[in-house]
Amino acid sequence: MSAALKFVSRRAAASEAASLLTTATPANQPRMPPSRPLTLPPPVSALNLRLRALFALLLPPLLGIAGLLLVWALVAKGSDYLPGPGKTFTSAVQLFSDPFYRTGPNDQGIAWNLLASLERVAKGFGAAVLVGIPLGFLIGRFSVLNRALQPIISLLRPVSPLAWLPIGLAVFQAANPAAVFTIFICAIWPLLINTALGVASVPQDYLNVARVLNLSEWKVFTRILLPASIPYVLTGAKLSLGIAWLAIVASEMLTGGTGIGFWLWDEWNNLNMEHILIAILVVGLVGLLLEQGMSAIARRYDYRSQ
Amino acid sequence: MSAYLEIDNLSVAFRSRGGGSFLAVRDVDVQVAQGEFISIIGHSGCGKSTVLNAIAGLVDPARGGVVLGGREINGPSPERAVVFQNHSLLPWLSCYGNVHLAVERVFGGKESREQLKARSLAALELVGLSHCRDKRPAEISGGMKQRVGIARALAMEPKVLLMDEPFGALDALTRANLQDSLMEIQLKTQATVVMITHDVDEAVLLSDRVVMMTNGPAATVGEILSIELARPRKRLELADQPAYNHYRSEILRFLYERQGHPSSEAA
């Protein structure tokens, strides 16, 4: 409803701007409203308003997507290798008609590959949550620990995800745990840093309340630190999950076997450009869904939005 | 009159940015009787809050100390409840939850669940907010938040209620309303109260004695004025009483003649 109102008022503003342009008056004269009888716009039904609002909401993104498809089609026309949107779509229909086939360890349907990637992300991200959040709390609460770990965090955080892969391979002697390890170590930093920041920036007023009440360290944690820092923790988790998804595609290209990253690289070896484009869109779509999911969780548990 | 709360030659120093230390308050000496209502008034920056924080145990004295009921205080404790200037309610708890957190801490080991609940509800009732028990602080007005803060402090049945400019952030009408409520509550509970204020009318209306502080740094007690007006006091009736106006002008004279405002001195 408010979107509908906004839409109407934007139209009103536009028409006022237009009237400003047409009825330009000398600066020293007060601008008089045009001398026409005050008329209200013709009544619009509620359904009509809602349809208009929906249209206004959907039109810009649809135009954007149409623009992208147009540019893609134009570029594909001039290229020998890049397939256009039409060809890619046909290929996608074929691909998604049988997403769960399995003819061998290196030849599986796209859904299996996607699920393999998601499973690695779940493991690596889950481990990062289990280690990163408690450690972040300790760092935020005890400044000695903060000073002890800050140099290490600052040093390791900027390291590219793939740089950790050889370490993982050497330690675990297997591709799959190495990929999970890579996810873990990339995903832990935003969790660690945001949790620590959240705990350290709990307002002193709340801690004074805890001091006057003489709350135990456990009560301070459950009643004050935890709820106060949850928004920060969830922001960290959102960033972490995004990084995990970025890193998995890259590490699977190197480790091979299964996974959407492996599949993408495999299709490059097959010179199947349609499938590469589909893989890019699928990776983007899944990343978007993961982020939306985390945002929904963040909204659910943030005390400020309740 | 035996002193219940003794502020005994209290001096508090803070570390200054250069690494040295400066004396915020010096040799503050006040005796408070049980059930007495004391206001501490002075210009901003004179260390009123520092005195209160020292009684609360939130800052440590450099010299001297505070004795409550025969025992020297050593750190914060629920026996000295604080009503903070900005209410300091926890935004993720309901009004009831905020009060109950304090009740649980103070009476948790000794009383049943029902008794604890009854205490929390009674405290909300005392400040007239029973209908807001399930609301969050963000959903109620500033005056109501301050009432919840008072309810939380009173629910702990503290030996002393410490109030740090409790009504400073409120509009005049809400403030008057809360002052009246506070007088009623104090009459009912016979609480011992130390309140920081910079409002002369508030100090005269509410207090048994007003402690006037000199300007900081190294502020100390300039004068203590006994307000001998009968209770219960009615705001409108007092306004016409010569005694009320006498006390008022005594404090104003101290603040503006003897302790001219620091900023106007500098100008």
Shared domain for A78 and A106, answered yes or no, is no
Establish if A88 belongs to a structural domain.
Answer: no
The pLDDT, as a whole number, for residue B239 is 84
Confirm if A198 and A157 have CB atoms less than 8 A apart. no
| Minimal CA separation from B247 to chain A, in Å | 34
Mutate to test the interface with B, among A202, A205, A208, A212 (most CBs of B within 10 A): A212
Confirm if A240 and A136 have CB atoms less than 8 A apart. no
Shared domain for A69 and A216, answered yes or no, is no
Whether the pLDDT of residue A296 is over 50: the answer is: yes
Whether B105 and A214 lie within 8 Å, measured CB to CB:
yes
Across the interface, which of A206, A208, A214 has its CB nearest the CB of B78? A214
pTM: 0.75
Shared domain for A119 and A245, answered yes or no, is yes
Shared domain for A62 and A110, answered yes or no, is no
The pLDDT, as a whole number, for residue A177 is 93
The pLDDT, as a whole number, for residue A15 is 46
The pLDDT, as a whole number, for residue A97 is 87
Shared domain for A120 and A65, answered yes or no, is no
The pLDDT, as a whole number, for residue A47 is 81
Shared domain for A131 and A273, answered yes or no, is yes
Establish if A96 belongs to a structural domain.
Answer: no
Whether A223 and chain B come into contact, CB under 8 Å, resolves to yes
The pLDDT, as a whole number, for residue B243 is 92
A240-286 pLDDT, tens digit each:
999 999 999 899 998 888 899 999 999 999 999 999 999 999 999 99
Whether A212 and B78 lie within 8 Å, measured CB to CB:
yes
Whether A227 and B90 lie within 8 Å, measured CB to CB:
yes
> Cβ contacts (< 8 Å) between B93 and chain A: which residues?
223
| Minimal CA separation from A259 to chain B, in Å | 42
Establish if A31 belongs to a structural domain.
Answer: no
The pLDDT, as a whole number, for residue A25 is 44
* Count of domains forming chain A: 2
| Minimal CA separation from A283 to chain B, in Å | 37
Q: What is the mean pLDDT of residues A208-233?
A: 91
State which residues form the domain around A121. Answer: 102-305
Give me the phi and psi of B115, to 5 degrees please.
Answer: -65, -40
- CA B253 from centroid of its chain's CA atoms: 23
Whether the pLDDT of residue A295 is over 60: the answer is: yes
Whether B92 and A215 lie within 8 Å, measured CB to CB:
no
Whether B58 and A208 lie within 8 Å, measured CB to CB:
yes
Pairwise CA distance, residues A245 & A183, whole Å? 8
Pairwise CA distance, residues B219 & B24, whole Å? 6
SS3 call for B85: coil
CA angle B202, B208, B209 (to 5 degrees): 85
Pairwise CA distance, residues B47 & B262, whole Å? 13
Whether A212 and B92 lie within 8 Å, measured CB to CB:
no
Which parts of chain B have pLDDT scores under 70?
Answer: 1-2, 261-267
Across the interface, which of A214, A223, A304 has its CB nearest the CB of B76? A214
Shared domain for A126 and A158, answered yes or no, is yes
More confident residue, A4 or B196: B196
Establish if A24 belongs to a structural domain.
Answer: no
Shared domain for A109 and A55, answered yes or no, is no
B-chain residue closest to A202, CA distance? B90
Pairwise CA distance, residues A236 & A243, whole Å? 11
Establish if A292 belongs to a structural domain.
Answer: yes
The pLDDT, as a whole number, for residue B226 is 94
The pLDDT, as a whole number, for residue A37 is 65
Establish if A38 belongs to a structural domain.
Answer: no
B-chain residue closest to A207, CA distance? B88
List domains and CATH numbers for chain B. Answer: 1-76+162-167+192-267 (3.40.50.300), 80-157 (no CATH)
The pLDDT, as a whole number, for residue A98 is 84
Model confidence at A30, pLDDT cuts 50, 70, 90, reads low
Whether A214 and chain B come into contact, CB under 8 Å, resolves to yes
Across the interface, which of A206, A213, A227 has its CB nearest the CB of B102? A213
B-chain residue closest to A231, CA distance? B92
Shared domain for A65 and A154, answered yes or no, is no
Mutate to test the interface with A, among B53, B86, B88 (most CBs of A within 10 A): B88
Whether B136 and A304 lie within 8 Å, measured CB to CB:
no
Whether B81 and A205 lie within 8 Å, measured CB to CB:
no
Q: What is the mean pLDDT of residues A153-174?
A: 92
Whether A206 and chain B come into contact, CB under 8 Å, resolves to yes
Pairwise CA distance, residues B105 & A212, whole Å? 11
Whether A207 and chain B come into contact, CB under 8 Å, resolves to no
The pLDDT, as a whole number, for residue A28 is 53
Establish if A190 belongs to a structural domain.
Answer: yes
Confirm if B155 and B120 have CB atoms less than 8 A apart. yes
Shared domain for A51 and A168, answered yes or no, is no
More confident residue, A220 or A37: A220
Q: How far is CA B223 from CA A73, B190, B209, B210, B250, in A?
A: 87, 25, 10, 8, 10
Shared domain for A176 and A69, answered yes or no, is no
Confirm if B25 and B47 have CB atoms less than 8 A apart. yes
Establish if A108 belongs to a structural domain.
Answer: yes
Whether A212 and B82 lie within 8 Å, measured CB to CB:
yes
Shared domain for A176 and A234, answered yes or no, is yes
- CA A191 from centroid of its chain's CA atoms: 15
The pLDDT, as a whole number, for residue A4 is 44
The pLDDT, as a whole number, for residue B16 is 81
The pLDDT, as a whole number, for residue B232 is 87
The pLDDT, as a whole number, for residue B212 is 94
The pLDDT, as a whole number, for residue B189 is 85
| Minimal CA separation from B138 to chain A, in Å | 9
The pLDDT, as a whole number, for residue A35 is 60
Q: What is the mean pLDDT of residues A201-227?
A: 90
| Minimal CA separation from A150 to chain B, in Å | 25
Across the interface, which of A211, A213, A227 has its CB nearest the CB of B92? A227
Whether A300 and chain B come into contact, CB under 8 Å, resolves to no
